[in-house]
Structure 1
Amino acid sequence: MSHLKATAPYVGMMVVQLAYASSSILCKLALDQGLSFLALAVYRHLIALAVFGPLAFVLERNQRPSLSFYVLVRIFILALFGTTLHQNVYYAGLNYTSPTVASALGSVIPAFTFIMAAILRMEKVSIKTAKGRARLVGTILCIGGVLVFTFWKGHLLEGFVRTPLIEVHGSDPKRGAINDQENWLKGTALILTSLFAYSAWLILQAVVSRIYPARLSMNTLMCFFALVQSSAIALIFERNASSWRMDWNIKLLAICYNGIVISCLTYYLQTYCVSQKGPVFVATFSPVLLVIVGIASAFIFAERLHIGSLIGATIIIVGLYCVLWGKSSDTNEKNSGVEKSSGMHATEGQVEHCLC
């Protein structure tokens, strides 16, 4: 039983990455069909709220902590970073890039999160120990792998398939024009901004989950605030009535999938994994998304990879395992309670001060 509990966060994060990979490809197809990313953000949180609300009410009615104004403010800020900013800006960037490029840029999440956690003293950075060096080297390798993947093309490899498995008809040619330099830079900047907000969300989640441990109720409140925030943005920037009308097509499928699988299942799994292993552990699985999406895009979109892409992906995976090995070496220390009681309490004070 203890072995199953120990492996649960690893299995959970692999499920999260598979879900995110499916979401990236499905959303790209839906966006190319004309789906408004602002409408997508609103509808998915409306669906998630309808799912989370009854579950939280029934399953946590006897263990839900009391809500104070300051807890609500923290969850509001959590929703602002992790859902509203991250998702709206990410979808806007995905309009100008491919899912593979977006996933490659997502591999900087471990570096962003590790740097933030080190600044807030959630992670100890020491080059005197093997685990400290492994985590530092792994972070550098992840960043280096992303740079190689993005900027070094090299020889173009033969694709797995010659024609796409899915043909998108009626797509706007202005959307996702990844061969245009201006669009590529715009998409890259938007996605990196969204990933910075996502990393901040992981850090804040570690603090909020300690002061409000009811995961279902916390995610319900987060989806509610995200719905309010996204609706306010959509009312300003998306006033076209046709953008809100849904038919039985891939756009509706993308909304339902993201509402049920991403906003419900993955949110809950990530909250659990952050509470068990910390935000840096969750962030280090982000490079896995690149490999899954890269392989899937080669079949679905007939996307041909360059030799630089394969080398970059290999470097990223090596960096991921370096960081995971460094994190696994901390298990005994954290179980003893020494590092957890000193480091996490210090972090709560600093982050809570920022949130106030």
Structure 2
Amino acid sequence: MASSITSSSYFVAIAMVLVQLSYGGSNILIKISFDKGLNQIVLVVYRHIIAMLLLGPFAYVLERKQRSSLSFSVLVKIFVLALIGTTVQLNVFYVGLHYTSATVASALNNALPSLTFLMAFLLGMEKVKMSSNRSRAKVLGTLLCIVGSLVFTFWKGHYLFKSLTKRPLINISSHIEENWVKGSGLMLIGYMGWSVALILQAMILKVYPAPLSINTLICFFVLLQNSVLAVLFGRDPNLWKLEWNVQLLTNVYCGVVNSAIVYYVQTWCISKKGPVFAAMFSPLQVVIVGIFSAVAFAERFHVGSMVGAVLVIVGLYCVVWGKKMDSLIDEDTEDDKEKLGNEKTVEISCQK
């Protein structure tokens, strides 16, 4: 029994490593494609067409019995979720990626759990009692993540060490001037949108527990919303042409891997080990992308970037620990209630 539990843990750990590799790979591919001329609106549209075509049949077949009737209010909530969590979030994030690098995107990703906790607290969904260690850890972690993100964004300092290669293995000649402050700020705004989306998604799942169908509808609404943006900002037909190059690979990769496969692998991991276990692997993405960027792009790291990244990662683990303690206490409370209920049942039976 113990060996089967251990092997299961190994499988989940390997799956989460692959998830972080997938996210890191997409950040690198997207950065290269943008600098080769790929339009961000085109990427958002194509990746969600692919994802919708992949997810739609599975949603129809697998969730036929568990889907409840789709009310107008739920439909509006999914539309807002698609608008904030995908259309706005991705477009703002992609603009930020134009100005920075894949390493920055992966590092700031670690601020997501703390930003989500902060949003949930402001909406009254998270309770904070400063008398408990777990609440203090969550608050401290959130503050560290915010400070770390600001340090990462606004303080460069001198270069910490030279790049690992004299010349980049992959040459990128960006048509947009690099601006880490603007890029990092836009990415943080994008991650805030993602945090709001995570909270909205949790609320929608309570009344419409069909994640496949929700994701398919999100893809549909994203296509509608970005079609409007395409009319305004992407009217050049040449932007929409796909050839056998890195741009096509990026569209297919993001649609198949990110928007379809990785979503369900991560959901499976969370169902097996919980969200806390999944969140623990987030810093791995920084390491993967950082090493690749140092070798492939001859990227050099600043003191401020490293200090900010460390603060964000420490803050992440503080929040994760606090949430873990919350879940353990909730489990103990449920066990106590169940035990009390069983004792009352036995007592009533004895009286009879």
TM over 0.5: yes
Paired position in structure 1 for 2:111:
108
Q: Is structure 2 residue 168 aligned with structure 1 residue 164? A: yes
How does 1:58-207 map onto structure 2 within 5 Å?
Answer: 58-150=61-153, 151-168=155-172, 171=173, 173-175=174-176, 177-178=177-178, 183-207=179-203
Give the deviation of 1:273 after TM superposition: 7.1
| Residues 137/187 of structure 1: CA separation in 2 closer, same or farther (3 Å cut) | same
What is the CA–CA distance in structure 2 between the aligned matches of 1:121 and 1:3, rounded to whole Å? 38
| Residues 228/198 of structure 1: CA separation in 2 closer, same or farther (3 Å cut) | same
Give the deviation of 1:285 after TM superposition: 6.0
Deviates more, 1:245-254 or 1:211-220: 211-220
Give the deviation of 1:22 after TM superposition: 1.1
1:305 is aligned, of 301, 304, 309, to 301
Asked if structure 2 preserves the Cα contact closer than 8 Å seen for 1:109 and 1:286, the reply is no
What is the CA–CA distance in structure 1 between the aligned matches of 2:32 and 2:114, rounded to whole Å? 29
Give the deviation of 1:206 after TM superposition: 1.1
Give the deviation of 1:242 after TM superposition: 0.3
Give the deviation of 1:92 after TM superposition: 1.7
| Residues 203/272 of structure 1: CA separation in 2 closer, same or farther (3 Å cut) | farther
- The superposition leaves residues 31-51 of structure 1 with CA deviations (integer Å, 9 ceiling, x where unpaired) of 000001110000000000010
Q: How many residues align?
A: 332
Amino acid of the structure 1 residue aligned with 2:61: V
Give the deviation of 1:146 after TM superposition: 2.6
- What fraction of aligned residue pairs are identical, expressed as a percent? 50
Give the deviation of 1:13 after TM superposition: 5.4
Amino acid of the structure 2 residue aligned with 1:313: A
What is the CA–CA distance in structure 2 between the aligned matches of 1:134 and 1:8, rounded to whole Å? 30
Q: Is structure 2 residue 250 aligned with structure 1 residue 254? A: yes
Give the deviation of 1:300 after TM superposition: 1.8
SS in 2 for 1:330: helix
Paired position in structure 2 for 1:243:
239
- The superposition leaves residues 211-257 of structure 1 with CA deviations (integer Å, 9 ceiling, x where unpaired) of 11111111111111111111221122100000000000000000001
Asked if structure 2 preserves the Cα contact closer than 8 Å seen for 1:113 and 1:280, the reply is no
- The superposition leaves residues 5-45 of structure 1 with CA deviations (integer Å, 9 ceiling, x where unpaired) of 88988776554433221111100000000001110000000
Amino acid of the structure 1 residue aligned with 2:171: E
What is the CA–CA distance in structure 2 between the aligned matches of 1:73 and 1:199, rounded to whole Å? 19
| Residues 206/9 of structure 1: CA separation in 2 closer, same or farther (3 Å cut) | farther
Runs (5+) with no aligned partner, structure 1: 339-356
How does 1:309-320 map onto structure 2 within 5 Å?
Answer: 309-320=305-316
Paired position in structure 2 for 1:221:
217
- The superposition leaves residues 77-124 of structure 1 with CA deviations (integer Å, 9 ceiling, x where unpaired) of 111111111111211221121122233333332332111111223222
TM-score (norm 2): 0.83
What is the CA–CA distance in structure 1 between the aligned matches of 2:42 and 2:298, rounded to whole Å? 29
2:32 is aligned, of 10, 29, 50, to 29
| Residues 330/119 of structure 1: CA separation in 2 closer, same or farther (3 Å cut) | same
What is the CA–CA distance in structure 1 between the aligned matches of 2:50 and 2:27, rounded to whole Å? 19
Asked if structure 2 preserves the Cα contact closer than 8 Å seen for 1:117 and 1:280, the reply is no
| Residues 10/70 of structure 1: CA separation in 2 closer, same or farther (3 Å cut) | farther
SS in 2 for 1:109: helix
| Residues 4/145 of structure 1: CA separation in 2 closer, same or farther (3 Å cut) | farther
Give the deviation of 1:64 after TM superposition: 2.0
What is the CA–CA distance in structure 2 between the aligned matches of 1:8 and 1:82, rounded to whole Å? 30
What is the CA–CA distance in structure 2 between the aligned matches of 1:326 and 1:65, rounded to whole Å? 34
Pairwise CA RMSD of aligned residues? Answer: 3.0
| Residues 193/252 of structure 1: CA separation in 2 closer, same or farther (3 Å cut) | same
What is the CA–CA distance in structure 2 between the aligned matches of 1:246 and 1:314, rounded to whole Å? 40
Asked if structure 1 preserves the Cα contact closer than 8 Å seen for 2:45 and 2:223, the reply is yes
Give the deviation of 1:155 after TM superposition: 4.2
| Residues 107/321 of structure 1: CA separation in 2 closer, same or farther (3 Å cut) | closer
Task: Select the structure of larger CA radius of gyration.
Answer: 2
Deviates more, 1:97-106 or 1:34-43: 97-106
Paired position in structure 2 for 1:53:
56
SS in 2 for 1:156: strand
What is the CA–CA distance in structure 1 between the aligned matches of 2:241 and 2:54, rounded to whole Å? 22
What is the CA–CA distance in structure 2 between the aligned matches of 1:126 and 1:6, rounded to whole Å? 33
SS in 1 for 2:301: coil
Asked if structure 2 preserves the Cα contact closer than 8 Å seen for 1:96 and 1:187, the reply is yes
